[in-house]
Amino acid sequence: MFLLVQRFGELMRKLWNPRNFKAHVSPHEMLQAVVLCSKKNFQITKQGDGVDFLSWFLNALHSALGGTKKKKKTIVTDVFQGSMRIFTKKLPHPDLPAEEKAQLLQNTEYQEMMVESTFMYLTLDLPTAPLYKDEKEQLIIPQVPLFSILAKFNGATEKEYKTYKENFLKRFQLTRLPPYLIFCIKRFTKNNFFVEKNPTIVNFPITNVDLREYLSEEVQAAHANTTYDLIANIVHDGKPSEGSYRIHVLHHVSVTCPWGKRRWNNALK
pLDDT of residue 102: 81
Q: Which helix (H) or strand (E) holds 100?
A: helix 98-104
pLDDT of residue 269: 43
φ, ψ at 189 (rounded to 5°): -125, 140
pLDDT in tens, 68-112: 766 678 999 999 999 999 999 988 887 788 887 788 878 888 888
8, pLDDT greater than 80:
yes
Closest CA to 121 of 84, 87, 81: 81
Span of 93-97, 104-108, 181-185, 251-255 with lowest mean pLDDT: 251-255
Instruction: Report the chain's mean pLDDT, rounded to a whole number.
Output: 85
258, pLDDT greater than 70:
no
pLDDT in tens, 207-239: 999 999 999 888 888 888 899 999 999 988 888
Q: What is the mean pLDDT of residues 28-34?
A: 94
By DSSP bridging, strand 209-210 and strand 227-237 are antiparallel
d(CA 63, CA 57): 10
Q: Do residues 47 and 108 touch, judged by C-beta distance below 8 A?
A: no
d(CA 157, CA 152): 6
120, pLDDT greater than 80:
yes
**Mean pLDDT comparison of 157-161, 182-186, 221-225, 240-244, highest-scoring range:** 182-186
d(CA 69, CA 4): 19
By DSSP bridging, strand 159-162 and strand 195-197 are unpaired
Confidence of residue 58 (pLDDT cuts 50, 70, 90): very high
Domain limits, the chain: 1-74, 81-204
d(CA 208, CA 200): 23
- pLDDT greater at residue 157 or residue 106: 157
Q: What is the mean pLDDT of residues 118-146?
A: 81
pLDDT of residue 255: 53
What totals of helices (H) and strands (E) does the chain contain, helices first? 7, 14
Residues in the chain: 269
pLDDT over 70, % of the chain: 89
Closest CA to 225 of 256, 254, 258: 258
d(CA 81, CA 176): 9
Confidence of residue 202 (pLDDT cuts 50, 70, 90): very high
Q: How many CB atoms lie within 10 A of CB 258?
A: 9
By DSSP bridging, strand 180-186 and strand 262-268 are parallel
Closest CA to 118 of 172, 156, 169, 157: 172
Instruction: State which CATH number among 3.40.50.300, 3.40.350.10, 3.90.70.10, 3.10.450.40 fits the domain covering 81-204.
Output: 3.90.70.10
